A and B are shown apart, each in its own frame.
Chain A
Amino acid sequence: MNNVEIVYKKSEGLTDKYLSYCPGCTHGIIHKLVAETLVELDLIDRTVGISSVGCSVLNYDFFTCDMQQAAHGRAPAVATGIKRVRPNSIVFTYQGDGDLASIGIAEAIHAAHRGENITIVFVNNAIYGMTGGQMAPTTLIGQKTTTSPNGRDAKTQGLPLKIAEMMATIPGATYIERVSVHNPSHVRKAKKALIKAFSIQMENKGFTLIEFISTCPVNWGMTPKDAVDWAVDNMIPYYPLGVYKDKTAGEEK
């Protein structure tokens, strides 16, 4: 068997635990990218990840690095606590849109505001997946959820919150980018964004947040394929991809 060559294998940053996500959910891809990034940058054995409350709540079992589970929305505060006492450790949070953009918006803003040297992996699937499909701050106008049964109405429920744009306005933030994982080329771009963010943290250059456009086929009531198409056709136009802030731009490589 000497002509067998391994061309692809599961990242060493992930455990053998069965991922608890629904079939076709893009949470899984994002996990893979985070794990690969930490392994490639040789950070996995000096990292603490913070699991937030949402479908990703069980990911303390999925990453091979140290993990701490946080109360709903409080992950950036927990990360701050850790980073301040262990500045040489790499600290990231993994948060959904309900967790970060709703109940935890204050913690997210103030971690950025203080310029905490942490990385936030922000997963925007325009819904509360875990609790069964309620409206999130990022739910699109007209999108039906269990608490916007007639579709989100801007009059009473506001316009969807653009987190990357908003976080970019915070003076303390260093790097903010929005990416998507709907096809291989975007998956590669997303990985680059993570490498950039964790590298900035390694160099002690401050707060980084990568927003992922993600899907929730189950609560959107779609097949995985349709969900990806829906994200491309509806989410990306409202949530354009790209770098929203880069304080390190122009610096010598």
Chain B
Amino acid sequence: MSKVLMKGNEAMALAAIKAGCEAFYGYPITPQNELPEYLSKHMPLYNRVFVQAESEIAAINMVYGAAGAGARVLTSSSSPGIALKQEGISYMAGSELPGVIINVMRGGPGLGGIQPSQADYKQITRGGGNGDYYLYSLAPETLQEAVDLIKESFDIADYFRNPVMIAVDGLIGQMMEPVDLDREVPKWDLKPKTWIADGNTKNRKKNVINSLYLDPQDLEDHNMKLKEKYDEMRANHQRYEFINMENAEIVIIAYGSVSRIARSAIEILSEKGIKCGILRPITIFPYPKKAFSKLPLTVKNLLVVEMSTGQMLDDVIISNERGLPISFFGRVGGIVPEVEEIVEKVLEIVGGEKHE
């Protein structure tokens, strides 16, 4: 199909509609406002639900309710709002409810700023709320990838009966790029939702949506069952991309918008005779640990680049089986790393330009 030029927030909204999202609940916050604004106009046209809730806490609890009733449901917000949603997200994971949450990250902590950031990495990849749980978390780098992953994410959420987090930054929310909204995405093998509590027990037993297990043994069993899901995600559903990896001497590890900036950097580096590859995590939970054992033996250095003071850095340290030296470059507060800064950092690590 032909491509249309769309703003990131709007393209993500339309992707959710295409994925069969039946309901959206949210609360305004910059830089994701165009997403709910788009849905406020378009969801009614499809006879679907749009509610501007009174707060993010209310919004995520509406999501919890709708997911329990079996609906495909979405919420979106930005960092301070996602922080408020943690209560409901934890309840969803505990009650094994699917749902998609889009976080268009901005700078923090506290009220922070409204410019692009990746400072919620730890919150996203460690669960975020109380209890022992994880979110399947996807970090697209282009609008096309964001659209494709959002379309797939509703299936992934249903498959695992677990919330899925789409982690993007203000850049992706605000930029316009041509996208094809009708591209095929993988279909997951989904079982019918026999567990829903939608008040329709004529032909089935009563169902209960709940995360309360007062008996410690029951709660341990429940936690172990959840762990099996997270283990399956880790074992079989890591996603990443290798870019320019053949004979690379140094590898930049970056996700989301930052990996695009790294792509520009490696072009300049190659002109300077430096073989620099990129390892781009697409899932940030599960972290693509497997990629580290597949790095070519030519790699002598790793450089982590993030819009944070070094959050994914910890995952790289955990995954660095070969014990390669790790350097870090980060910009924060809404400042986006510049291509030249990354080039300079790489040159500093490899000891300058190389000309035969």
Contact = CB atoms under 8 A, between A and B. Distances in A.
B41 interface: yes
A143 interface: no
A149 B55 contact: no
Given A105-B54, A132-B33, A135-B52, A148 B28 contact: no
A147 B111 contact: no
Interface in A128-175: 128, 130-132, 134-135, 137, 146-149, 156-157
Contacts of A135: 52
B27 A57 contact: no
B85 to A, nearest CB: 12
Contacts of B110: 71
A152 B173 CA distance: 26
Contacts of A121: none
A132 B33 CA distance: 8
Contacts of A132: 28, 30, 33
Interface of A: 53, 57, 69, 71-73, 98, 102-103, 105, 128, 130-132, 134-135, 137, 146-149, 156-157
Identify which of B28, B29, B36, B111 gathers the most chain A CB atoms within 10 Å of its CB: B28
A135 B111 CA distance: 21
Given A131-B33, A134-B28, A135-B52, A72 B40 contact: no
A146 B80 contact: no
B29 to A, nearest CB: 7
A156 B30 CA distance: 24
Contacts of A53: 111
Given A102-B54, A102-B55, A147-B52, A128 B28 contact: yes
B89 to A, nearest CB: 18
Interface in B44-90: 51-52, 54-56, 80
A204 to B, nearest CB: 32
Identify which of A72, A130, A156 gathers the most chain B CB atoms within 10 Å of its CB: A72
A159 to B, nearest CB: 14
Contact of B40 (A105, A131, A149): A149
Contacts of A147: 28, 36-37, 40, 52
A251 to B, nearest CB: 36
Nearest to B81: A72
B53 to A, nearest CB: 8
26 contacts: A53-B111, A69-B111, A71-B80, A71-B110, A72-B80, A102-B27, A102-B54, A103-B27, A103-B56, A130-B30, A132-B28, A132-B33, A134-B28, A134-B33, A134-B36, A134-B37, A134-B52, A146-B33, A146-B40, A147-B36, A147-B37, A147-B40, A147-B52, A149-B37, A149-B40, A149-B41
Contacts of A128: 28
A71 to B, nearest CB: 7
A69 B80 CA distance: 14
A73 B41 CA distance: 27
Nearest to B51: A156
Contacts of A71: 80, 110-111
Given A131-B29, A147-B37, 5 more contacts: A57-B111, A71-B110, A103-B27, A131-B28, A134-B33
A131 B30 contact: yes
Contacts of B36: 134, 147
Given A53-B111, A103-B54, A147-B40, A98 B28 contact: yes
Interface string B22-33: 000001111001
A248 B10 CA distance: 53
